[in-house]
Amino acid sequence: MNGISIAVFLSFGLFVEIILTQLAILLVLARIGVGKKEYYRYPLNLTMFSAVSLIGAFTFWLLGGDHQSIDFTSFQDIVAIFGYAITVFVVNQLFIKMNHRVFYKRNVKLFDKGFLWEIQSSLIVLPVGFVLFVLYTEIGRIAIFYMGIPFVMIAIILKLLYSYQEINRYLEETGEIGHQLTKKMVVNEVYDVFISKIANLVTMDCAYIYMVVDEHLELVRFTDAKNEIQPTHSRLSKNEAFSGMVWEENKPILYNNSKEWSFLKANKIPKDMESVISLPIETNNSTIGIVTLVSKEKNAFGKVHLRILDILTNYFGVAIENAKNYEITKLNSEKDGLTKLYNYRYFNNAVEEYGSNITKSSIYSLILLDLDHFKQVNDKYGHEAGNEILRLFADTLTEFIGEKGLVARYGGEEFVISLPHINLTEACKLAESLRALIAETPFPVMKHIFPHNDVEYVSVTASIGVSAYPDHCETLNELIRHADRAMYLGAKQRGRNKVAVYQELQPN
């Protein structure tokens, strides 16, 4: 339009150029499908481009130009023509940026990629428009035919160049996103990286990430461009809304305006949305989730977005599976296989981590338990029954301690309880209550070593040692040793089924 408008302005004047520009704007707005809610764009753009034409013409005349008598060899006329072209370009860019800030509340920069693209295209198109004017002046209307073909070819080349640049940009950013996803070993971090990068990569208003959980889709992440919208649902069934359709059919969908999906009654997205793109997340030939993006703009997404998002969802699916496998492996390395409690290695790391941040005002207590005469239980009822008691005993400890501390299996029939922020007095009360609970709680077991697996209730007792920081030591590393000493010397050797405190063993 810029190339044609300069030829029309120089040949026929301002009025004809404005009429041509207005018609072009109407065609563009009709082509992109401006909806009822955006009808304001018609008067806005018509007014804006009329103002651009008027200011450009005023600059042309101010520099001494006269479209009725242009001399191509006149320096003044050449300056006037260049002044007109530059003014139209600059004023047009200013209006565009102002439009983004005022009407769309977008914080845009003047010298962005769009500005550079306009400079490149204008440097190609404007000289061709000037040549059209020269030829029209010399040979008449046939010049439109001669220059029309180059204009069409230039338009096609510019469109292909723009598409190439966009695809290349998308591919570069897609590769970087894939690289960042593969580095995350926690599933929630994978979700966060993916949705934040998608929001920056693709222009959209809302994004949803669902994961398949049992027989429904669970909404695990949601974001909107302005942080003003809250999701109206947390799960979907098959064939429900866009994501449910994609899950059922295992095919992506792309809608460019709301009329295309008017058949869908419950779409679960904000009412003013127009464009929708939704894709399955697949790994090992199965769908594990759905990604859905929506936009208020018509024709917001195209085939290029479909291809890019298809690549990204593949990265995403692989990253999720890797993170899940890592978390399972990590959990198995931290948990005791029999009791499902944390093992001693995890417990020791937790104590060291807490100890690295300890201060003078910190308090920390530790309880060490050992089941009394447990070998006799194994001999009488069998090792399977003994293992069952250990599992039930671990459940009892976990339920009793709750959120107060960390329970771990120390080894064999020994268990340890870490109690951050609990002083010695409170720890002793907990230990005594726990001792009484254990002694009063019979555990049901099967007598596996006999022909008939009858259920029998077995009572056990525990010897318990307690130590605390800073009462008994200067560093947390000494706590386990002190608690162990209290348990054996103070509880085991004094009759078992007792609670002993390390301080009581010290000479007066």
Q: Are the beta carbons of 408 and 344 closer than 8 angstroms? A: yes
Reading the block at residue 28, the tokens are 């563009």
Look-up of token digits 């404005």? 18
Q: Rounded CA gap, 123 and 15, in Å?
A: 25
DSSP state of 419: E
d(CA 483, CA 431): 12
Task: For residues 63 and 73, give the distance between their C-alpha atoms in angstroms, rounded to a whole number.
Answer: 16
Would you call 203 helix, strand, or coil by DSSP?
coil
240 φ, ψ to 5°?
-95, 125
Active site residues: 413
- Please list the helix, strand and coil fractions of the chain in percent, rounded to the nearest 5, in that order: 55, 15, 25
Nearest Cα to Cα of residue 290 among 210, 387, 181, 396: 210
367 sits in which H/E element:
strand 364-371
In eight-state DSSP terms, residue 462 is E
Listed residue (53, 130, 65) closest to 92, CA to CA: 53
CA dist 430 and 417 (Å) reads 11
Residue 320 exposed, middle or buried by CB count within 10 Å (0-12, 13-18, 19+): buried
Report the candidate in 326, 320, 299, 461 with the shortest Cα–Cα distance to residue 396: 461
What's the rounded Cα separation, in Å, for the pair 462 and 195?
51
Which residues are CB-contacts of 209 (< 8 A; sequence separation ≥ 6)? 191, 194, 195, 219, 220, 221, 222, 289, 290, 291
Q: Are strands 443-446 and 462-469 parallel, antiparallel or unpaired?
A: unpaired
Q: What is the DSSP letter of 403?
A: T
Burial class (CB in 10 A: 0-12, 13-18, 19+), 402: exposed
Distance of CA 78 to the CA centre of its chain: 54
**In terms of DSSP H, where are the helices of 33-141?**
41-62, 75-103, 113-139
Tell me the residue type at 27.
L
